[in-house]
Amino acid sequence: MKYKQWQVAAPCPEGQWELEQAGLPPLLAGLLAARGVTRPEDARRLLSPDSEPIPDPMLLKDMDRAVRRVRQAVEQGEPIAVYGDYDVDGITATCLLTQFLTARGGHIVPYIPSRLGEGYGLNPEAVHTLARQGVSLIITVDCGITAVEETALANSLGLDVIVTDHHACKEELPPAAAVVDPHRPDCPYPFKGLAGVGVALMLALAVAGPQDAPAVLEEFCDLAAVGTVADVMPMTGANRAIVSLGLARLDPPRRTGFASLLRCAGLEDRPVTSVSVGYTLAPRINASGRMGMAEVAVELFLTRDPARADQLADQLCELNRERQSIEGDIFQQCVQHLEEAPQEGAIVLAGAQWHQGVVGIVASRLAEKYASPCFMICLDGGMGKGSCRSWGDINLFELLSSCSGLLENFGGHALAAGFTVKEENIPALARALRRAVADSCHGQALPSVLDIDLAVAPQHLTVEAVESLDLLEPCGTGNPRPVFLLQGAQVHGMSQVGRGRHLKLRLESRGVPLDAIYFSSQGAELGLYPGCRVDLVFYPQINDFRGVRTVQLQVVDLRLAPSRAQLEQAIYDKYSRGEELTTEEARFLLPERRDFVGLYRWLERQSTASTVVEDTPARIARSVARATRQREVPARTMLCLEVLEERGLISLNRRTDRIQITLCHVEHKVDLEASEIIRRLRAVLENGL
């Protein structure tokens, strides 16, 4: 198991029935009801994301100032630099504003710093370069909110700066002509979850004005959707409308670059969803920035030449394969190091030969593997550039803020961030981070909980039922992909696929055959073998192979299923600890009269040869079951013995793994129903009715 605890949401049969009566398919209705969406009108609103209102862009603080300065620059023919970040969010934002302003007559210079040579954000060298090129206005997208000194430098060189960003703000804002960021403390914009490309889109809508805004949204929602999904922004509010419109524009794509990339990625004839964007398109776009060649992706989305687009898409796919190879090597190095020298609280690793462009992905994989926030630092010339990923609701921006005295600079989100640190300060930083994590968790271990929507039966997993879940799109934070639990499935076959990196499973549950795929996992490490039974948590998906559509389970986590005896023993242990039982658990434990009669008669027969019966509870239960021709239930047999002891019919002497039973001769009739144990179990049943 990757997760220490599986937490299944409580089903809501009444809410599911209401939704089914309103016309929703049963699986979708059960899922929504378990998530608390039980009213048909709420379900309709959730399942119609394109109707979600997008707040007026002019509500963003400083948007009026930004609009005036941009319009002035376009009207006067000033050279404008659109300065972005090298991830998908920054690349799509750069392309969006570049194309939008160019179409309105602007003289635009797109600029994305080299990840390997310049690093993240606005930097002095870039400012000087743009000044020499005659640029008089820099518009940052997906960066700039912490660039106080760099903005002041630009001002001193005669350049105005408009900051559009969505990262967390520090106390001091840049001295820019406008600072547009929904996370500004004084920003009244009602939706705070915009991606960097979302803020760039708001600027474009505001510059276009109310009359032209709908056409601008229609034209650029595809770029905004891809950047928003890739940056793992909340899929609520305005983002749902933007991404929903954008996914529709991608299916089929109307932008030349997206058409080529979808073809290269093998998605040409498949529906484009938030999942395919996040797991297939985004890594290929990201690879250009990670490998120091963000200009490849920028050109891909700006070109209208199909032949050139095909070349650039092929190049992105090749860069992604190279990135995967480098990432895999670094990941294995880190795993080996952590197996030899485990780290508690927070993982902090530094290396001189690591590729700066891929350590963020490695940090994400390590955080998931070890259920701990991870900080990866690339060393070069006495300085370290770090990328970090969160775990367990740890807020990385707050964590880095608490250690700011040891850092040269930092920035980012709660879940992902970057920083720069002197090599000599890394040991102290590691100690400070671990203290901060411990303080935020109040000394407790970080949670490793997998939230599950619903436990399902295999007959519910039809192609039609799984297809109905597409109505939830777009999925993401705040509206996650459906996660289901299937219990007790039998493994009929296992095979490694994807050059040995992934595990394919053939399962059967209640006579229904199912296929499953478990990415980045192997059967041996999980203890699986043909014939074993497993509980698995999964995303349901449709596999289309040569025109045949079948349901496939994408495994999120998996464990060997406990046997019936283990489950029954767990109920008895729960009762023994005095914990509250469910009605089903109480019903299972409550003995019937025949249970007492069969057990007592067996004890009488055994006592003829010896005054004391001694054996393990399991063997006693087995012997009683054979003698009475009833099902063997050790937990209930043990409870019967406790009732007989309570009522004075026997005495028990409990040892480590065995019990001694002595019959007591009682002259009067004994009422077993008067037992406190029996009364306790019956009370649970009565309260549950």
Residue pLDDT, tens place only, 296-348: 999 999 999 999 999 999 999 999 999 999 999 999 999 999 999 999 889 99
Output the pLDDT for position 297. Answer: 96
Nearest Cα to 34, choosing from 43, 23, 21? 43
Specify the range with the lowest mean pLDDT, choosing from 16-25, 47-56, 440-449.
440-449
Which residues, in sequence order, are bridge partners of residue 490? Answer: 508, 533
DSSP 176-242: -SEEE-TTSTT---S-----HHHHHHHHHHHHH-TTTHHHHHHHHHHHHHHHHHHTT-BSSHHHHHH
Output the pLDDT for position 630. Answer: 81
Are the C-beta atoms of 374 and 448 separated by less than 8 Å?
Answer: no
Q: What is the rounded average pLDDT for all residues in the chain?
A: 91
Whether the upstream peptide bond of residue 474 has omega within 30° of 0, thus cis, is yes
DSSP 346-399: SEEEEESS--TTTHHHHHHHHHHHHTS-EEEEEEETTEEEEEEE--TT--HHHH
Q: Percent of the chain beyond pLDDT 90?
A: 68
Nearest Cα to 112, choosing from 262, 264, 301? 301
**Number of C-beta neighbours around residue 152 at 10 A:** 15
Instruction: Say what the alpha-carbon torsion angle 550, 556, 562, 567 is, to the nearest 10 degrees.
Output: -100
**What is the CB-side half-sphere exposure of residue 158 using CA atoms within 13 A?**
9
Place of tokens 């508690």: 344
Nearest Cα to 400, choosing from 420, 381, 371? 420
**End-to-end alpha carbon distance in the chain:** 36
**213 vs 112: CA distance, rounded Å:** 26
Instruction: Name the token pair of 460.
Output: 């519910």
Q: Which residue has the higher pLDDT, 407 or 2?
A: 407
Specify the range with the lowest mean pLDDT, choosing from 113-122, 360-369, 483-492.
113-122
The stretches of 88-186 forming alpha helices (DSSP H) are: 88-103, 124-132, 148-156
Specify the range with the lowest mean pLDDT, choosing from 261-265, 505-509, 561-565.
561-565
pTM: 0.80
Q: What is the pLDDT confidence band of residue 76, given thresholds at 50, 70 and 90?
A: very high
**611 vs 658: CA distance, rounded Å:** 16
Place of tokens 């296992």: 494
Q: What is the pLDDT confidence band of residue 444, given thresholds at 50, 70 and 90?
A: low
**Domains contained in the chain, CATH given:** 12-35+453-561 (2.40.50.460), 57-240 (3.90.1640.30), 250-326 (no CATH), 342-449 (3.10.310.30), 565-688 (1.10.10)
Nearest Cα to 477, choosing from 169, 199, 237? 237
pLDDT tens by residue, 132-171: 999 999 999 999 999 999 999 999 999 999 999 999 898 8
pLDDT tens by residue, 200-240: 999 999 999 999 999 999 999 999 999 999 998 999 999 99
